[in-house]
Structure 1
């Protein structure tokens, strides 16, 4: 078994300083490690969300040669069996938010959920990657899109999805009170896991 990570530096794979600030704020001052951001170009893996997170984490750990934390966010429509899921970035680029809404036009169920997965590697390739998941449900979305200039925002630390424009807009994700909605930190005991692996 690897030495405990407590007191060590963990590379959080992101080029976004705001994302790093949010993660540090969410983990709080009792988090036993130091997180540092590092942008790493990773391949675009295919598969289910867990498989993708594990592969990204393993590749990041290989490049860094040390402990890494990787975050992946999915937007999953229930009517589409969880799609676009981890492919939301490309769906948004091609279809824009309005196109996403149009995908659901023939379905009564317009509900969705955001899935945020963190993958942690100790940096030791013989140790398994640990996954921590947070899921936030979205109610039905029966209003047509308004404001063509609005972008669908997927913040990785999803507390809840809300509708913009007084309830008549596109789905968006905010990052307030993360621990209430994405309870991986408390329910899965991330602090005790980090001090023991």
Structure 2
């Protein structure tokens, strides 16, 4: 059986490193190639629509016969009915983590959901959607601030109250929305290669 190339479109080095770690057990079945394409992101609150539009763009740029996937991650505050959502990257960039946490100061409910949506174009014209969700709480920044909003998100499944940033990567990947979404993709790719 030949090893198939699969393209992951991202310009985020931290995300690429984390995805390679998550998919490492599948590395014998395919070769992960990175393409840091600059894709347009549609403005929408529907996370699946955003990821689908990006994957269709990537597929058009790279060619219809190349398996490719995109991943889009959102942070959704329960009090804000889905926001900041897919815009969290821009909130972090323009406001900083402390001000994002302050947005919830006047609310008792600090609950949030981290959501990763993957859209995989199989190279045969079909698009497949996988989504992972982790529930948590927004807290004051703790741990390294090198990876997006990890230091302000404390997953409810964290056994010792750690934020994503404080957790060992292996532990984070077991409960994170990204780990869950990629587990679905891994299962799909394993079944597809049989």
* TM-score relative to the length of structure 2: 0.75
Partner of 2:70: 70
Q: How far, CA to CA, are the matches of 1:187 and 1:131 in structure 2?
A: 9
How many pairs align?
Answer: 179
Alpha-carbon distance, 1:87 to partner: 0.5
Q: 1:45 aligns to what? A: 42
- The structure with the greater share of residues assigned to helix is 2
- Aligned: 1:137 with 2:135: yes
1:66-145 equivalences in 2 (<5 Å): 66-124=66-124, 126-127=125-126, 129-139=127-137, 141=139, 145=140
Query: 1:161–1:115: structure 2 CA closer, same or farther, 3 Å change rule?
Result: same
Q: 5+ residue gaps in structure 2?
A: none
Distance 2:43 2:165 in 1: 24
Q: Measure the CA separation in 1 of the matches of 2:141 and 2:68.
A: 40
Calculate the aligned-residue CA RMSD, in Å.
3.4
2:53 to 55, 58, 78: 55
* Alpha-carbon contact 2:117-2:181 (below 8 Å) kept: no
Tell me whether 1:154 sits opposite 2:151 in the alignment.
no
The answer as to whether partners of 1:134 and 1:184 remain within 8 angstroms in 2 is yes
Per the alignment, residue 183 of structure 1 pairs with: 180
**Residue pair 2:138, 2:154 contacting (<8 A) in 1 also:** no
Q: Per-residue CA shift, 1:66-95, capped at 9, x if unaligned?
A: 211111111111111121010001112222
Partner of 2:25, secondary structure, is: coil
Quote the Cα distance in structure 1 between the aligned partners of 2:147 and 2:107. Answer: 23
Shift of 1:187: 5.3
| Kept after mapping to 2: 8 A contact 1:53/1:117 | yes
Using structure 1 for the length normalisation, give the TM-score.
0.74
Between 29-38 and 186-195, report the one with greater CA deviation: 186-195
The 10-residue stretch of structure 1 (8-17 or 173-182) with the greater mean CA deviation from structure 2: 173-182
SS, match of residue 42 in structure 1: coil
Cα offset, 1:146, TM superposition? 6.5
CA contact (8 A) 2:77 2:113 kept: yes
CA distance change for structure 1 residues 190 and 111 in 2, over 3 Å: closer, same or farther? same
